[in-house]
Structure 1
Amino acid sequence: MMNPLPELPGFEILSVVRAANTYTVCRAVRHEDQRPVVIKVLADRTADPLETERLRHEVAVSAELGGVHAIPWESMEQAGQHRVLVAADRAYVPIETPTLRDVVDICNAVADLHECSLMHLGLGPVQYLRDPATNDVVFEDLRTTRSMVNNRVDRSAMQRERHRLPYLAPELSGRTDHQVDHRADLYALGISFFEWLTGQHPFVATTPIEWIHAHLAIVPPQTDDLNPDLPRGVGKIIDRLLSKDPSDRYMTARAVAQDLDRCIRGEPIATEDEQRRFFQIPSTLYGRDGDLQQLRSFFATITAERSSAGLFISGYSGIGKTSLIMESISDIVAEKGSFVRGKYDQLNRNVPYQG
């Protein structure tokens, strides 16, 4: 992590709003016009073209959102060895220890982001500010956002950012066949809520493979056991957010906010049918229970005997061979096994080493 008070030519740093793993948000005065500004500076001083592009992306997303739930960045400037984003100072206040009412507001902010067809894919417990002028929740970092319309996500890149691993949804691990969509944000919210309300992370891990194993295979403890003072129903909300299968989570962040609001008022949370009025094609594998059981039995036998063997799955293209295998990965991960995959595309037979 960088120095909490970085020296930046052209700026007088007044205070640090937030010092995160990869960036610092500061309140400052710009020398050239003596204007009070808020700036974001990355921890890495190297001029990485990818990071520069991500900063430009954040400026574009902020403009697209019209400054709602986003710091309205005006420019990207060079300050010594650093590239910094600059915006007018609105005296943002970090949300350090959220109350349940703060959590409701955060969920509504995430819902607004999703309704603009954007996934955040970088949510964590240290991410949110308050705009005192509007009382809106503001995302202090939007570099990781992706469009929900063309949601091509580089899962391997997400895993390389070690500070994101504690909040990585199972479908972002590359070890499942589930499609990545806005519900990955809901999983990250569930992890954050768990930390805020219990004071600890639901999983214990240190290495990347341990984190991925936890997200795929370990059932988190009950929040009600760790914090008995929580309003009734909050634990069930967190349990649903932390479901391994995206189809078992809430469909929208707005539904999460509404259920939390019911808990605050002492009312029962909504039924599953009410939450599933939003159409979403499930990623659950249907009609292959027998085949899946055969795979699991085969793997269990090999594991118990500590032996080695081969198993071949054949069939016409498109009948679901890959989906069947991907569905069984959780069993391999549960035993801390390794999964290696490759593909030989029949349309690329003329390309050497294409497999």
Structure 2
Amino acid sequence: MILLTGYQITEQIYSGINTAIYRGIWEQENLPVIVKTLKSEYPTLEEITRLRHEYKIRKNLRNIETIVNSYRLETHQNSVALTLEDFGGLALSKLLTTQKIKLKHFLEIAVQLAQSLGEIHQNQIIHKDIKPHNIIIHPETYQVKITDFSISSRLVRENASPSYPNLLEGTLAYISPEQTGRMNRAIDYRSDFYSLGVTFYEMLTGELPFNAIDPLELVHCHIARIAPAPHSLKPEIPEAISAIVMKLLAKTAEDRYQSADGLRFDLETCLAQLQGSGNISDFTAGNADRAGQLLIPQKLYGREAEVAALLSAFERISGVEPPQPPLAKGGLSELSQSTGEPPQPPPC
């Protein structure tokens, strides 16, 4: 337990690598609070700056009821402590370990998450770490709020730098392909939709879309592999809901939902059908979706021949194993003029 002037700390509810989270009472206001602190006795400037950054982000979002709002940033010994509202909720990750979420409750939670993300994005903020640990749910009312804005960005678009998997911002099991920094694509608000898709997948099936242990293999899965559709793992999941999840998990941002409103419309349609008839009919996911922001597509158009030539050359040089001198690595190489014709293989 920590000693924080003006607060009565009652229990520790989370302990991570760098942070610890407590539940307590703000004595001056007689309010239940969540207290987030840094674990190190002498935290680095980067750790303190990140907590201050989170406070500033939350302060700008105080008009949004679907996020966990902040109260104060307190000085605590050699560090700082962030005090947050406590509405009696539990992390979705903890809820998933104790009970199976019914389809109706899943849709009710999903609708609220879509609304919350929409409001966050309208304020020009990318969350960048949507996952069950950062989704707080009241166990009785199923009220939902999003928390942890420590790595959130106020930029409409930003570039991720290639880095070792353990140094990437976000949580590796939930990050979008572009957030890995290995796709030469900028991060925008649609990155949150991919992470939300991973979260939905876990809520519905009880497992992650990719279960690789090696970090580099997991990065490869996010970039190149297609996860099995949820209804193929759990046949009781309606195909319409499965299609929504798979659209969120699209590898390129242009193929995902383009707005939280479009996602929310599809989820509310499913919920209305389930409540009305007990069944959910198939429909085209994203049919009512419209772009939430003006973004220039990052796809390549009209370059099919050139892309095919590059892939063909890659297959040739990677599939040949010529004699190598000691300590030499790699395959053959090719160089071709951009004539539109595929390069020819080198003579044997």
Q: Classify the TM-score, shorter chain.
A: 0.7 to 0.9
Deviations 1:20-40 (A, max 9, x none): 665443221357887643211
SS in 2 for 1:206: coil
Matched, 1:117 2:113: no
Distance in 2 of aligned mates of 1:108 and 1:229: 26
Pairing of 1:89-108 with structure 2 (within 5 A): 89-95=86-92, 96-97=95-96, 99-108=106-115
- Of 291, 299, 324, which aligns to 1:284? 299
In the other structure, the counterpart of 1:242 is 249
Q: 1:77 is aligned with what amino acid? A: E
1:150: how far off?
5.7
Matched, 1:7 2:9: no
SS in 2 for 1:138: strand
Contact 2:20 2:37 in 1 (8 A): yes
Q: 2:23 is aligned with what amino acid? A: R
Distance in 2 of aligned mates of 1:198 and 1:56: 37
Distance in 2 of aligned mates of 1:213 and 1:227: 25
Distance in 2 of aligned mates of 1:51 and 1:263: 42
Deviations 1:56-78 (A, max 9, x none): 11111111112523333232224
In the other structure, the counterpart of 2:149 is 142
SS in 1 for 2:120: helix
In the other structure, the counterpart of 2:58 is 62
Q: 1:244 to 1:306 in 2, by over 3 A?
A: farther
1:210: how far off?
1.0
- Provide TM-score, normalisation by structure 1: 0.76
Deviations 1:272-299 (A, max 9, x none): 5532455542221112111111111111
Distance in 1 of aligned mates of 2:61 and 2:282: 34
Matched, 1:47 2:30: no
Backbone CA RMSD of aligned residues: 3.1
Q: Which region of structure 1 is more displaced relative to structure 2, 11-20 or 137-146?
A: 11-20
Distance in 2 of aligned mates of 1:100 and 1:33: 36
- Of 78, 83, 86, which aligns to 1:86? 83
Matched, 1:172 2:179: yes
In the other structure, the counterpart of 1:328 is none
Distance in 2 of aligned mates of 1:185 and 1:155: 19
Distance in 2 of aligned mates of 1:150 and 1:26: 34
In structure 2, runs of 5+ residues without a counterpart are: 274-279, 323-330, 339-348
- Provide TM-score, normalisation by structure 2: 0.77
Q: 1:138 to 1:271 in 2, by over 3 A?
A: closer
1:80: how far off?
4.4
In structure 1, runs of 5+ residues without a counterpart are: 1-5, 316-355
In the other structure, the counterpart of 1:330 is none
Q: 1:137 is aligned with what amino acid? A: V
Deviations 1:176-216 (A, max 9, x none): 13221111110101111111110011112122211111111
1:41: how far off?
2.1
Pairing of 1:240-279 with structure 2 (within 5 A): 240-264=247-271, 265=273, 266=280, 268-270=282-284, 272=286, 274-276=288-290, 279=294
In the other structure, the counterpart of 1:214 is 221
Matched, 1:298 2:308: no
Contact 2:190 2:256 in 1 (8 A): yes
Q: 1:70 to 1:19 in 2, by over 3 A?
A: farther
Deviations 1:289-317 (A, max 9, x none): 111111111111122223422334778xx
SS in 2 for 1:61: helix
1:81: how far off?
5.8
Q: 1:225 to 1:273 in 2, by over 3 A?
A: closer
Q: 2:188 is aligned with what amino acid? A: D
SS in 2 for 1:77: strand
Q: 1:86 is aligned with what amino acid? A: T
SS in 1 for 2:171: helix
Identity of aligned residues (%): 26
Q: 1:83 is aligned with what amino acid? A: V
Contact 1:263 1:269 in 2 (8 A): no
Distance in 2 of aligned mates of 1:251 and 1:199: 26
Distance in 2 of aligned mates of 1:258 and 1:19: 37
Distance in 2 of aligned mates of 1:214 and 1:114: 27
1:231: how far off?
2.9
Distance in 2 of aligned mates of 1:36 and 1:271: 41
1:93: how far off?
4.4
Q: In the comparison of the two structures, how many residue pairs are matched?
A: 310
